Amino acid sequence: MTIVSLLRATERRCLNFLTLSKTVRLIESKSHLLLSTYVYERRATEKLADDEEAETLFVALAEFEERCKEPERARFIYKFAFDHIPTGRKQYGDKEGIEDAIAGNRRFQYEDEVRKNPLNYDSWFDYAMLEETVGNKYRIREIYEMAIANIPSPEEKRYWQTHIYLWINYALYKEIKTEDVERTRDLIPHSKFSFAKIWLLAAQFEIWLLNLASARHI
């Protein structure tokens, strides 16, 4: 069945949510993301009069946008449901509830990705950025520490640059956001690898602290 025929079938019949979900999943698997969004949006706006079904559809659409790594669109959809569907207010409560829902779904996604592949540093980056947005310092530190603990083997050169940039990002976070000078010094330079940018950043860090002798030594 072609994508066009799937789309037409979706609009022609009054599909229940389960069938709609399967249809969109199939479209997603073929990478037709815009059509997937269209199917959800068309059905959701048609069902605004039915609070329960509309809420289910909007949540599904928001989760779809999260899977596509479009948190701003997901946030807009949750907000739209909150403003237009009374039950949406009961489920999410307020803006903070919406943010928690988005963060929770994305956190689950990133946890699954790094569990399957601990060397997936792109997901570790996204996970750390999510936690920085949420602002829980304990969680931020925990994610960075777990990420940098996954050290690639010497032959896996394609991972090393990204892994090193994780160290840099963590060091900058400790320096700028938490002002944890000693932990920043512990992070860079690192005893297990050498990378010019890290040494340069370490020297700049000491200059920023007015430790010129340490900077010259580096």
> Per mean pLDDT, which of 20-29, 86-95, 123-132, 183-192 is the most reliable?
123-132
> Per mean pLDDT, which of 61-70, 95-104, 171-180 is the most reliable?
61-70
Say yes or no: 202 and 151 in one domain: yes
Q: Is 84 exposed, middle or buried (0-12, 13-18, 19+ CB in 10 A)?
A: middle
Residue predicted with more confidence, 77 or 215: 77
Say yes or no: 96 and 133 in one domain: no
The whole-number pLDDT of residue 117 equals: 93
CA dihedral 163, 165, 166, 168 (to 10 degrees): 130
Mean per-residue pLDDT over the chain, rounded: 65
- For 118, the token pair is 């601990």
| Residue closest to 211 by CA, chosen among 178, 182, 191 | 182
Say yes or no: 109 and 150 in one domain: no
> Per mean pLDDT, which of 7-11, 119-123, 170-174 is the most reliable?
119-123
Say yes or no: 87 and 123 in one domain: no
Reduced DSSP (H G I as helix, E B as strand, rest coil) percent helix, strand, coil of the chain, to 5: 80, 0, 20
Domain count, the chain: 2
Say yes or no: 121 and 109 in one domain: no
Say yes or no: 12 and 88 in one domain: yes
The whole-number pLDDT of residue 3 equals: 40
User: For the residues 32-53, what does the mean pLDDT come to?
Assistant: 53
Say yes or no: 182 and 81 in one domain: no
Give the lowest-confidence range in 42-56, 110-124, 131-145. Answer: 42-56
Structural domain including 153 reads 117-218
Give the lowest-confidence range in 31-35, 60-64, 122-126. Answer: 31-35
